[in-house]
Amino acid sequence: MPVHGRPSFTGVFHTSPDGYLFCEDLQVKTVQDEFAKASEYGSPFFMYSKRQIGDNVRSYVEALQRHDLPYILGYAVKANNNLTILRILRDLGCTAVLVSGNELKLAMLAGFSTDKLVFNGNGKTQWEIELAVTHDVMINADSLFDIDHISSVARQLGKKVKMLLRMNPDIDPEVHRYLATGSAVSKFGIPETDLDTALGKAGSDDNIDLVGLHCHIGSTITNIDVFRATVSAMLRYNNHVQGRGFRLKYLNVGGGLGINYRKYIQVCMCIPSGGELIDSIADKIKESGLCLILEPGRSIIASAGILVSKVIGIKRNETRSFLVIDGSMTEVMRPCLYGAYHHIQLIEPTSGTRRYSVVGPVCECGDYLAEDIELPIPHEGCGLAIRDAGAYCASMSSNYNMRVRTI
Ligand SMILES: Cc1ncc(COP(=O)(O)O)c(C=O)c1O
């Protein structure tokens, strides 16, 4: 049975020979101590590695350039909307992909140029569409009514909007059902049976410039064949669209690539990198002559972040030992929301090991970070890190129980 907190001595997040976790050159425990001195709200906090963000982006970019593909790499802001992170990604050449008007405002504040931004959403409201159209943002239309709403705003503003049709290809991404967005039962996208109606609306509208097709079939996808199947379906739609006389520019295949959250304890689970994903679809994209749009979130930012927390106390009942920490479901909601796994490790040396359920102080039985895992034995006040917390943690955080929201 592997010990949960087994350290890694190499990489951006690495453990020193004397047992302290480092993020790049910073000892995490020192940062935790400094924060604690500065504020009574100094724990828990998120800590990110700029170097890891760069490595994750380069994995995509190097493959895209190697295959000589025209592309737009649009980071999905919903994964983590930290302004500093957005600016780092902008400097690395990414654009941004948005799911709300407020995300669009933030992307503008971060300095992204708006004509390469992409706006998604199955229930866009009037003001959000107005903001996107005003700033020439590309819009993925999610339904027939969405096309009507976007068209009506563009007409009122006297603008021509660049529109992509978000298709629902009914493909099983082999993930938790909450994360499957391209299957027939999902609320997202236009079914193939409505494609002709959608083309009829977009084609006859002087305020719409139909520039592409889009799909995003899910998140945490680990099977590369799923992406190839998606691209094949999209190219089949593109042939149909061409047959109707449209000449599209973009093929947007969304995001969705998973990461190996269990890599610390299960080394042989092979999950493709961004570069390997590109390698697997490059031939088909090249043949189409279309510009590829990608919308990755998790695969860019998850591995670059940790939640740094502290042990409040340890309690035992007849069946379990509970490690009660100051981090909780209000910072890392994924375990409670979809039974997701996050690796947990101590950030400082201790001796011995024992099995614990790691729980937070929130008044909910669902408030757990890990169930019955083996950890080095911590002391009260001991620091620990919840790994791979860069995506869908800070951006999903709340102040439930009137906790201070950690972002
Ligand atoms: C439309 C859209 N694009 C991109 C993403 C990013 O997905 P991921 O973080 O899995 O790469 C999402 C998230 O589910 C999404 O809904």
Share of the chain above pLDDT 70, in %: 97
Active site residue 215: no
- The per-residue pLDDT for 6 is 55
Q: What is the mean pLDDT of residues 73-91?
A: 98
Tell me, letter by letter, the H, E, C secondary structure of the chain. Answer: CCCCCCCCCCCCEEECCCCCEEECCEEHHHHHHHHHHHCCCCCCEEEECHHHHHHHHHHHHHHHHHCCCCEEEEEEHHHCCCHHHHHHHHHCCCEEEECCHHHHHHHHHCCCCHHHCEECCCCCCHHHHHHHHHCCCEEEECCHHHHHHHHHHHHHHCCCEEEEEEEECCCCCCCCHHHECCCCCCCCCEEHHHHHHHHHHHHCCCCEEEEEEECCCECCECCHHHHHHHHHHHHHHHHHHHHCCCCCCEEECCCCECCCCCCCCCCCCCCCCHHHHHHHHHHHHHHHCCEEEECCCHHHHHHHEEEEEEEEEEEECCCCEEEEECCCCCCCCHHHHHCCCCCEEECCCCCCEEEEEEECCCCCCCCEEEEEEEEECCCCCCEEEECCCCCCCHHHCCCHHHCCCCC
Looking at every residue in the chain, the average pLDDT score rounds to 95
- The per-residue pLDDT for 265 is 84
Q: What is the mean pLDDT of residues 261-278?
A: 86
Q: How far is the CA of 31 from the centre of ligand 1 (A)?
A: 32
Q: How far is the CA of 112 from the centre of ligand 1 (A)?
A: 19
- The per-residue pLDDT for 2 is 43
Which residues' Cβ are closer than 6 Å to ligand 1? 76, 78-79, 97, 120, 216, 219, 254-257, 295-299, 391
Domains of the chain: 13-48+303-402 (2.40.37.10), 50-302 (3.20.20.10)
- The per-residue pLDDT for 407 is 86
Q: What tens digit of pLDDT does each residue of 235-252 get?
A: 999 999 999 999 999 999
Q: How far is the CA of 295 from the centre of ligand 1 (A)?
A: 6
Q: Whose CA is nearest to atom 14 of ligand 1?
A: 219
Q: Whose CA is nearest to atom 13 of ligand 1?
A: 219
Q: Whose CA is nearest to atom 16 of ligand 1?
A: 216
Query: Ligand 1: which of 73, 78, 142 to mutate, judged by most atoms within 8 Å of the beta carbon?
Result: 78
Catalytic residue among 23, 215, 291, 363: 363
- The per-residue pLDDT for 267 is 64
- The per-residue pLDDT for 9 is 65
Query: Ligand 1: which of 104, 261, 295, 299 to mutate, judged by most atoms within 8 Å of the beta carbon?
Result: 295
- The per-residue pLDDT for 21 is 98
Q: Residue 1: pLDDT band by 50, 70, 90 thresholds? A: very low
Q: pLDDT at residue 4 above 90?
A: no
Share of the chain above pLDDT 90, in %: 94
Atom of ligand 1 nearest to the CA of 166: 1
Q: pLDDT at residue 206 above 80?
A: yes
